[in-house]
C-alpha cells in the first residue's frame, strides 16, 4: 500500500521516521528535506528576482515571478519561492554576500524561517510561567465588568463577591488566564472615564489576585489603569490599541509584565464602518511586527509579548474567516498567538443567532483556531471550550 501524507509538523515527520527505524543521523539529514515551504517575498527588483530564481533552480527548487519581470517590462515584482527547508538553508548561505539586496533578503529569510519553525515559548510572569507548545492551547476567561458588553455577559452592578465567585468558577472550569475589563470595546462603544474604569476593575483585582492561582490580565489601553492593576496583582496588560500610547509600553517594561498586542483598524466607535485591506494577512502581520519592534525599543522584553490579530476589530465577516483560516502565517512573528472569536458578530452572520446563543459557533471557531496555530483562545464560555479543546488535543496528539 502507498500512502500520501500531508504533514507539516517536524515532530510528526520525525516520529514517522523513528517508526520506520531510520538511523538517528539519517533523520537529522533528511528532516529538513521533508519540511517544505511556499514563501512570498514582496516587491523586489527584477534583477534580484531573477537571481533568486536561478539560485533556487540550481538547488532543485523554484521561484515564481511576474512574467514581465523576465522581459524587463516592469521594475519590481513579488516572488513565490518553493522548496524544502534544506534548500532554503543552502540558499541563505549563497545569498549572504551577494549584492542587489540579496544579503538583506537572506537575513530576513533566516529570521522568518527560524520564527516559523519555533514551536515552544515560555512566558515568565514572575510567580506564573506559561509554557506554550504545539498541540497545547491555553484558555483565557473573559470577565466583563461593563453594562454594555456585546456578549451580553457584563457583570456591571453585581456585588464584589458575585464577581469574584464568577471568576473563580471560570478557573475551576479550565481557564488558564483571567482577563478583566472595565470598558466595552464593542463596535460603536463610547469610552468611560478613568475614574469609572478604575472603580470597576481594581477592587476585583485586589481580591482575585489573592484567591486564584492563574495569571490575571487587565484589558485596558489606559496606562493609569494598567499601573494600578499591576500594583494590585495583575500580570498581563491586554491593550486593544497595540501599544499606540508610548507611556503604556514604558510602564509595561518597568513592571516587566506580560503584554498582549492586538491589531485594530480604526477606533471602536468607527472600526466597523466598511473596513478595507489590500492584503489582509500581510497588512496585519506588518502592523504587528512594527508594534513588536516598537515595544522592544521601549524596553519590553520580546519574550513577554503575545500577539492578537484582532478578530472583529476593523474586520468584516470575510476578514475574520480569512484570519482564522490562515493563522499559521502569523508564526513568522515568532511570538505566541492569541485569538478571540468568542460570541462575536461574525458568528451571528453565519448562524443568525444572538450573542448568548453562539456557544457552539464559538467552540467550532476555537477548535479550528487551535488546529491552525493559536496558543490562547479568549472566551466567555470556558467550560464548553475546555471540553472541546481537550478532545481535539487528544486527537491531534495521538
Q: What are phi and psi of 380, to 5 degrees?
A: -90, -30
DSSP 155-200: -TTS-HHHHHHHHHHHHHHT-SEEEEESS--STTPPP--HHHHHHH
Residues 6+ apart with CB under 8 A from 363: 381, 384, 385, 388
What the block records as the C-alpha cell of 358 is 453562539
Residue 293's alpha-carbon distances to 114, 191, 266, 332, 373, in angstroms, are: 17, 28, 21, 14, 22
Among the listed residues 222, 344, 358, 386, the single catalytic one is: 344
Residue with cell 456557544: 359
DSSP H helix total and E strand total for the chain: 15, 13
344 classed as catalytic: yes
- DSSP letter at 73 equals S
Helix axis angle, 46-58 relative to 102-117, nearest 10°?
Answer: 60
CB distance 185 to 313 below 8 Å: yes
8 Å CB contact between 96 and 68: no
Distance CA 76, CA 302 (A): 33
**Cα dihedral sign for 326, 330, 335, 339?**
negative
Output the CA torsion 262→267→270→272 (10° steps). -10
Whole-number Å distance between alpha carbons of 58 and 54: 6
Choice among 335, 358, 378, 386 that is catalytic: 378
Catalytic positions: 344, 378
Amino acid at each position: 500500500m502507498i500512502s500520501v501524507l500531508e504533514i507539516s509538523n517536524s515532530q510528526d515527520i520525525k516520529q514517522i521516521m523513528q517508526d520506520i527505524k531510520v538511523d538517528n543521523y539519517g533523520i537529522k539529514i533528511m528532516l529538513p528535506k521533508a519540511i517544505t515551504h511556499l514563501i512570498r517575498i514582496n516587491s523586489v527588483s527584477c534583477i534580484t528576482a531573477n537571481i533568486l530564481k536561478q539560485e533556487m533552480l540550481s538547488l532543485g527548487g523554484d521561484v515564481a515571478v511576474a512574467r514581465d519581470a523576465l522581459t524587463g517590462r516592469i521594475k519590481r515584482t513579488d516572488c513565490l519561492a518553493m522548496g524544502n527547508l534544506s534548500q532554503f538553508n543552502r540558499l541563505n548561505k549563497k545569498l549572504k554576500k551577494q549584492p542587489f539586496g540579496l544579503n538583506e533578503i537572506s537575513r530576513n529569510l533566516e529570521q522568518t524561517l527560524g520564527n516559523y519553525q519555533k514551536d515552544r515559548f515560555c512566558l515568565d510572569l514572575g510567580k506564573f510561567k506559561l509554557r506554550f507548545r504545539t498541540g497545547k492551547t491555553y484558555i483565557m476567561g473573559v470577565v466583563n465588568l461593563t453594562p454594555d458588553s456585546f456578549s451580553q455577559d457584563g457583570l456591571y452592578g453585581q456585588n464584589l463577591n458575585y464577581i469574584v465567585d464568577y471568576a473563580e468558577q471560570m478557573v475551576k472550569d479550565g481557564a488558564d488566564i483571567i482577563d478583566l475589563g472595565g470598558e466595552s470595546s464593542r463596535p460603536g462603544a463610547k469610552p468611560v472615564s478613568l475614574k469609572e474604569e478604575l472603580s470597576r476593575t481594581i477592587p476585583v483585582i485586589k481580591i482575585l489576585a489573592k484567591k486564584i492561582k492563574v495569571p490575571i490580565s487587565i484589558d485596558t489601553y489606559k496606562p493609569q489603569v494598567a499601573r494600578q492593576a499591576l500594583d494590585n496583582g495583575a500580570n498581563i496588560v491586554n491593550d486593544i490599541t497595540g501599544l499606540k500610547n508610548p507611556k503604556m509600553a514604558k510602564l509595561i517594561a518597568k513592571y516587566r509584565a506580560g503584554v498582549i498586542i492586538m491589531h485594530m483598524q480604526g477606533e471602536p466607535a468607527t472600526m466597523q464602518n466598511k473596513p478595507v485591506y489590500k492584503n489582509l494577512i500581510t497588512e496585519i502581520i506588518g502592523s504587528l511586527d512594527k508594534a513588536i519592534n516598537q515595544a522592544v525599543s521601549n524596553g519590553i522584553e520580546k519574550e513577554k509579548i503575545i500577539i492578537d490579530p484582532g478578530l472583529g476589530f476593523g474586520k468584516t465577516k470575510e476578514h475574520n474567516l480569512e484570519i482564522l483560516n490562515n493563522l499559521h502565517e502569523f508564526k513568522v512573528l515568532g511570538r505566541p498567538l492569541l485569538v478571540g472569536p468568542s460570541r462575536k458578530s461574525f458568528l451571528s452572520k453565519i448562524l443568525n443567532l444572538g450573542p448568548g446563543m453562539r456557544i457552539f459557533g464559538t467552540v467550532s471557531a476555537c477548535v479550528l483556531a487551535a488546529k491552525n496555530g493559536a496558543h490562547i483562545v479568549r472566551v466567555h464560555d470556558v467550560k464548553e471550550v475546555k471540553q472541546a479543546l481537550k478532545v481535539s488535543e487528544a486527537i491531534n496528539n495521538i
